[in-house]
Every structure is written in structure tokens, then in C-alpha cells.
Amino acid sequence: MTAQGGSAGQGVSATPARAPHTGPAAAARSQTDVVLHGIKKMITDGTLQAGSRLPVEKDLAAELGISRGSLREGVRALCIMGVLETRQGDGTYVTSLDSSLLLAPMSFMVDLQTPDGAEHLQSVRRVLESEAAARAALHAQPEALAEAETVLAGIEDMSLGDEPVDHRRVLDADLAFHSIIARASSNPALAALIEALSSRTIRGRMWRAISEQGAIRETHREHRAILAALLAGDPDRARLAMGSHLLAVEDFMHTHPAETSDAAADLPAQ
């Protein structure tokens, strides 16, 4: 008997090569891609603009050459990405396409990073926030600076050791202070990126505040130095003050990897 797929005399059958998967799942993926790229092109070439209502489902599916089911899948994906929004009983619209919407899903991806990656994310955060502080020194409105002062004043007594420390309040103030500066940079994309990174580094910052002697007092002093640079309108000093402040957190995360991953996981969520 001649062996199948081999020469005579081998006595074994060669395993047939597996054909590439071309079933419904693969087809659905490619159809969804058509929707994503098709609607993106319609936005970039001006056919659709921020706030525009999408054509009715039947017409749009025909225009893109896909099924209505695939169109719905693509629309759902674009809604998750912040590109589209569905209004009950009124159709589907292009969002404002604001950076805060389009970059918000990045925080989900950031949260999937392993604990070992938190230190790397902190390094990126330091670079971004240092630049945000420099820009804020030039662009911050008086109202933003007053808000930052109010935040720091609200935890002054705890930070200086005059009253018992509420670590949750201290952390909330930390988050608020950095958020104010990011927004005051007058760069929505930069502010959105900083916001996305903040959630993944929050536990390490809180664990440092709890475990490191004098960390809360030192952090408050650093925050005051940053605010002073902003009030003086000095971008170079603001950049250096912010960079030095965040480098201290980065160094702590590097020297205490277990505390900022496993132990910090027991801290209350944001």
C-alpha cells in the first residue's frame, strides 16, 4: 500500500497541513475591521464630524458592504473606544472626539499591567507630569492655582503631624493636586494620558505614605514647592520640582517592589 502524503515504503501517513481558520469568527473579525476603518475614514475625510449622526443602519451597512450584524459589532467597539455614542431612541452619533474620551480606554490597558510594570509606568508618569507642571506654570488660571492651594491647605495639619493622619484623605488630596496641574497644562491630551497612568501607580504611592517614616510630611513639602513654582510662573523650576517629587516615589517603588505590589493589593481601592 502506498502511504498517503509520503513515499512508498514509509508505512506512515503524513499529517495533513491544517488549513487556516476561515470560519464565522474570522469572518466576523474582518467584517468588524471594515466597520472600524470605514467609519474612521468617514471622520478623517470630513464626511462625519464631531456630533454628526450616523446614517441609518441599513444604508450604512450597504455603503460599507457588510452585514447589519457586523455593523452593530463595529459600532459597539467604537462606542467603547469613545468614538461613537448611542442615544436611546435617537440613533448613533460621533462623540466630541475630545482627548479625555478617546484616551480614557487606555486606563483599562494600563490596569492590566503586571505589578512589575508599575515602576515603568511611574517613570512615564514622571516625564509627562514634569512637562505638565512646566506648561501649567505658563498657562494655569488663577482659579486653578487657588484650587490647588485649597487642596493642600485641607491636609496641612495632618501632613505636618498636628493631627492624626487619614491616609485616604491624604491620597485623595494627592490625586486632586496632580489632576489640577495636569488640567492646568492646557493640553487635554497630556492631561488624559496622566489620568490614565494615575490609577496604576496609586497603590504604590499610598503604601509609601503609610510605611515610610516622614513620607507624608516630605510629600507635602514637595507639593508646596511645586505650587510655589506655579505661582511664580517659573516653568523650569516647576518642571524640576515635579520631577524630583515623582522620582522619590519611583525610587521607593524600585526599592520596595513587594510592598508596592503584593502588600499594597490589600489597600482599599480608589
The predicted-structure confidence for 19-71, as pLDDT tens digits, reads as follows 444 444 444 458 889 999 999 999 999 999 999 999 999 999 999 999 999 99
**pLDDT higher than 90, residue 3:** no
Separation between Cα atoms, residue 235 and residue 130, nearest integer Å: 10
Task: Tell me the backbone φ, ψ of residue 87, rounded to 5 degrees.
Answer: -105, 120
Q: How high is the pLDDT of residue 196?
A: 84
Band of pLDDT at residue 99, cut at 50, 70 and 90:
confident
**pLDDT higher than 60, residue 268:** no
**pLDDT higher than 90, residue 6:** no
Handedness of CA 235, 236, 241, 242 (dihedral sign): positive
Mean predicted lDDT score pLDDT of the chain:
82
**pLDDT higher than 80, residue 162:** no
**pLDDT higher than 70, residue 16:** no
- The set of residues, in sequence order, having a beta carbon less than 8 Å from that of 132 and lying 6+ positions away, is 181, 182, 184, 185, 187, 190, 191, 194, 242
Query: At what angle are helices 188-211 and 167-184 packed, to 10 degrees?
Result: 160
| Residue in the block written with cell 484623605 | 169
In terms of pLDDT, which residue wins out, 25 or 86?
Answer: 86
Q: How high is the pLDDT of residue 17?
A: 43
pLDDT in tens, 178-236: 999 999 999 999 998 998 887 656 666 667 777 777 888 999 999 999 999 999 999 99
Separation between Cα atoms, residue 44 and residue 71, nearest integer Å: 19
In terms of pLDDT, which residue wins out, 119 or 27?
Answer: 119
